[in-house]
Amino acid sequence: MSPYLLGLRLSGRRVLVVGGGRVAQRRVPALLDAGALVTIVSTSVTHALDDLIATGRVIWEARPYQVGDVDGAWLVQACTDDRAVNTAVAAEAEAKRIWCVRADDKDASAAWTPASGRVDEISVAVTAGGDPRRAAGIRDAVVGALRDGTVDARRNRTKPVGVALVGGGPGDPGLITVRGRQLLAQADVVIADRLAPQALLDELSPDVELIDAAKIPYGRFMAQEKINELLIEHAKQGKFVVRLKGGDPFVFGRGGEEMLACAREGIPVIVVPGITSPVAVPAAANVPVTHRGVSQEFHVISVHVPPGDARSTVDWPNLARSGGTLVLMMAVERIGTIAETLIHDGRSPETPVMVVQDGTLPTQRALYATLSTVAERVTAAGIRPPAIVIVGDVVKVGQEVEMVRAERVP
């Protein structure tokens, strides 16, 4: 017979747990989250349960189970590793018409503990015929779909309003945050950058209006003022607008400008930080931007204007003398001028450099060079944006990682 599923409201109600091992350790926190008054009867408990007992959240009776322990309980969990004890606990509970869950025998258990999960106000519980592993797998799939908005998002009556500035991460669609993906699935309008994860756009519902706000280097682009106007226009129509960007909205993403524009019009804004490419792309190429004994600082620089340009606010002489890691964005087209400037201002011509194109994507490729050779090598390799340039001795760490891995290959 199939079980009759209920959601037990245990707040303020006594629950008895017989046994203090790993099964009890898994079940007690969920009971506490439901507001249950938990009593554990066991000669010993795990360290995790001991912490709950020490803080007064659980009552522990440090002794073996005895007849009468189930009295006053609304629910009993028989979690010992002794089948005879579990049988006795279940028999007493059955005689007193108290629901009892046996951890050791699903067929002899009057009730089953489902694999459960929660996303906002939605609770999910799966029994799968009493098979806990299968139930957990199905639970994880459903909870994951609820979190990323695959299930239920556009039917939610409490859909967000206004604008969400969402960082899409460095390129790999799997690197967007859970919150970002959830809001994307709830959008009525999506205004997307060129570097936003394109695979995520293919998952949008057909009724979502997609606006291309790409800024192509040295090519077509949508002016920032126009983007601001679109955000405000659609939000004032009552639509939920997601501004999807590559990386993080506030790291050379003009998220601050868009937030201010919305604030001036009284439009609420949700900010969802993203994994920023100046850190993620070097990591994807096995290069840490900091490393003990090598570099304890790193600088992220936008080179949308070259060194020496009157519009530049970058202190290149100070960066050259710092010795820290330099992570350069929008630098490929100006790499020759950058290298010459850094060498002129004090960086060694032999300083290691790595250039990573299409970081985190299947098309990712990287080249090693030095400041004195990087311009020539980038040209020869045909490196094109989007690419990240890393300057500093941390590049050697990435090379060392590759060497160690190569030596371990049989």
Q: Which residue's entry shows tokens 């990386």?
A: 247
Tokens representing residue 146 in the block: 């609820």
Contact 192, 213 (CB under 8 A): yes
Contact 316, 307 (CB under 8 A): yes
Is 193 designated active site? Answer: yes
Residues 124 and 59: their CA atoms lie apart, in Å, by 28
SS3 percent helix, strand, coil of the chain, rounded to 5, is 35, 20, 45
Among left, alpha and beta (phi > 0; psi -120 to 50; other), residue 40 is beta
Q: Write the DSSP symbol of residue 81.
A: S
Buried/exposed 379-409: b ≥16 CB within 10 Å, e otherwise: eeeebebbbbbbbbbbbebbeeeeeeeeeee
Is 207 designated active site? Answer: no
Given the residues 172, 193, 248, 358, the one annotated as active site: 193
Contact 303, 296 (CB under 8 A): no
Contact 99, 111 (CB under 8 A): yes
Given the residues 96, 131, 152, 215, the one annotated as active site: 215
Closest CA to 77 of 110, 119, 117, 118: 110
Burial of 207 (0-12, 13-18, 19+ CB in 10 A): exposed
Residues assigned a catalytic role: 193, 215
